Structure 1
Amino acid sequence: MPGELFPRERSDPAPGAVLLPDWLTPAEQLELVAACREWARPPAGLRTVRLPTGGQMSVRTVCLGWHWYPYGYARTVVDGDGTPVKPFPPLLGRLAERAVAAAYGPGGLGGIAGAEAYEPDVALVNHYAEGARMGLHRDREERVDAPVVSFSLGDSCVFRLGNTETRTRPWTDLELHSGDLLVFGGPSRFAYHGVVRTLAGTADPALGMTGRLNITVRQSGLE
């Protein structure tokens, strides 16, 4: 975040979870914001996800590589316009592999696969307008336990990283700023997590956007 008095340092909020503040450069953030605008265009563009319970999520989402819907993956937007999902961008593949290397090293750490074994092929881009949030959930539709890579852009948020058993405590609340990288794998790969609230108006005006963008990159394990 611009104007930080003291640089924020790497932290390991849970086993297998790594937070690297300000990991994306300002130029990379601008590049990703511009790319998100293109990915959000129809067909297979930004949509509001409806849950099987009948409710709808407060974030809007666009998928790349594979289309995520509650609760599975498809090659077409089965809960939207029905068109083929946009391809997984090489840009995100390169960034995600760098991210895993930064978090765990090329060869892995403590039994967690490193960048050499990481083959990301799906991304979810979520836009949080003012007041949007994400309830605690687990990313468990993938068929492998490769780490999840999360990039933050725009407004800051309070991100809650919980445990693998329940949506209740223990959990750790993290404030994620634009440019931050969060990677969670190993013991934290299937932890409950969510966004408690977004902090409206905290984005750097130079990004030319409102709200928060979160890009989550995963390895699906699907053929």
Structure 2
Amino acid sequence: MVMEDSSRLDAYAKPPEDLKSAYKKYQKISIAQLDSDDTVFDAAHEQYAGFTVNIQAKEELQMPAEISHIVQSFLSNRGSMSRDGTSGCLCYEHPDMPGLLVFPSLLAPSVQISLLDRLLHRDVSNPAHRNNLTLHYSVPYPEESANSFFHASNQNLLLDPIDPSQHKTVSMQAMLVKKLRWITLGGQYDWTAKEYPSSPPPPFPPDIAALINGIFPAIKPQAAILNLYSPGHTLSLHRDVSEECNRPLVSISLGCDGLFMAGLDKPNACSVATMRLHSGDVVVMSGPARYAWHGVPKVLPNTCPSWLGDWPVTPHNEDSEQYTSWKGWMANKRINLNVRQMHD
């Protein structure tokens, strides 16, 4: 498959008008309209919208024939062994967008919960990983003995503004409910300059890197954006062109359903694919689709799986009693882990 050279792509370019129009349509769409829209891929409801199973994709991504041992290794690192370590591994691709691959329900519930535990308890509270608040606030990172922002001992922490004339103090409640929108893991992407700093990045979480690289050996996880959405939040159309290599992007969905759009520029029009992604779905952007425009026009409320909605209070978690005040936090949240390789 022929790919574009990222060095020829402008990080500040604007998306094509027909893709912007489609984005606005799905930003405003009602649930009733969405349920009757057969142009949206939704594997959970057996609606494939032109996507077909691609049996060669796993080979092209160098995926192992069996991934249960990789998943069980990931789970055993935290003592959370489970027989549901992996679900079916069908791969769907749209014929007009080669390399845009969807793996519905690839990650089973035990894996999703363990990912949330590590990302939101451990990595979000690691000051080496910047978030959208660190530029304007002094973030009070927890003590190591209670190193989760969700821990009961941290509920009264306050984020003081660096410039009080521009921002007000933020409570921990406000931070976790609505203010915290993204965290960078590993390579700390500069959103203004649209590039990665030349200085050495903090280490990418090794257990999460091992899980992703084990399932998708074609990518070495070096950087990630962890997006936190609530209903009403969106992600504008953009292209990821700042990496120095063209290795695939891997995007993991957790929590509420979200609409994900991707589009490729073509001489006479823009190919567009819209997907309703569910918790546990994984999208890979590879080949020609590696530099596709993409965005999230809508997060669908009240669609978080019932077994995940009470997080951070979960079965078999010995620390759950420390998180009871946050029970149900995930019920209207969508978490997206977007992983990339910066260089070969």
Which TM class, normalised by the smaller chain length?
0.7 to 0.9
SS at structure 1 position matched to 2:302: coil
Corresponding residue of 1:112: none
**Correspondence 1:32 to 2:115:** yes
Corresponding residue of 2:185: 64
Q: Which of 195, 203, 210 is equivalent to 1:94?
A: 210
More strand by share: 1
SS at structure 1 position matched to 2:271: coil
Q: Which of 131, 140, 153 is equivalent to 2:232?
A: 131
Q: State the shift of 1:48 in Å.
A: 5.2
CA distance in 1, matches of 2:239, 2:205: 24
Q: State the shift of 1:62 in Å.
A: 0.6
**Correspondence 1:211 to 2:294:** no
CA distance in 1, matches of 2:131, 2:256: 19
**Correspondence 1:11 to 2:86:** no
Show CA shifts across 1:85-133 (max 9, x none): 6520122222322443xxxxxxxxxxxxxx2x53221111110122110
Q: State the shift of 1:199 in Å.
A: 0.4
Q: State the shift of 1:46 in Å.
A: 3.5
Identity fraction in percent: 31
CA distance in 1, matches of 2:108, 2:221: 21
Where do residues 1-223 of structure 1 align in structure 2 (5 Å cutoff)?
10-13=91-94, 14-37=97-120, 38-41=122-125, 43=127, 44-47=129-132, 60-70=181-191, 71-74=194-197, 86-100=202-216, 115=217, 117-164=218-265, 169-207=270-308, 208=311, 209=330, 210-221=332-343
SS at structure 1 position matched to 2:264: coil
Whichever residue aligns with residue 113 of structure 2, its letter is L
The alpha-carbon distance between structure 1 residues 42 and 17, as it changes in their structure 2 partners (threshold 3 A), is same
- TM-score, normalised on structure 1? 0.75
CA distance in 1, matches of 2:212, 2:303: 25
More helix by share: 2
Whichever residue aligns with residue 10 of structure 1, its letter is C
The alpha-carbon distance between structure 1 residues 28 and 144, as it changes in their structure 2 partners (threshold 3 A), is same
Q: State the shift of 1:158 in Å.
A: 0.5
Instruction: List runs of 5+ in structure 2 lacking aligned partners.
Output: 1-43, 49-89, 136-178, 312-329
SS at structure 1 position matched to 2:203: coil
Show CA shifts across 1:162-195 (max 9, x none): 11469x8421100000000100111110000000
Pairs aligned (count)? 189
Aligned residues: CA RMSD: 2.8
Instruction: List runs of 5+ in structure 1 lacking aligned partners.
Output: 51-57, 77-83, 101-114
CA distance in 1, matches of 2:299, 2:134: 19
CA distance in 2, matches of 1:21, 1:144: 26
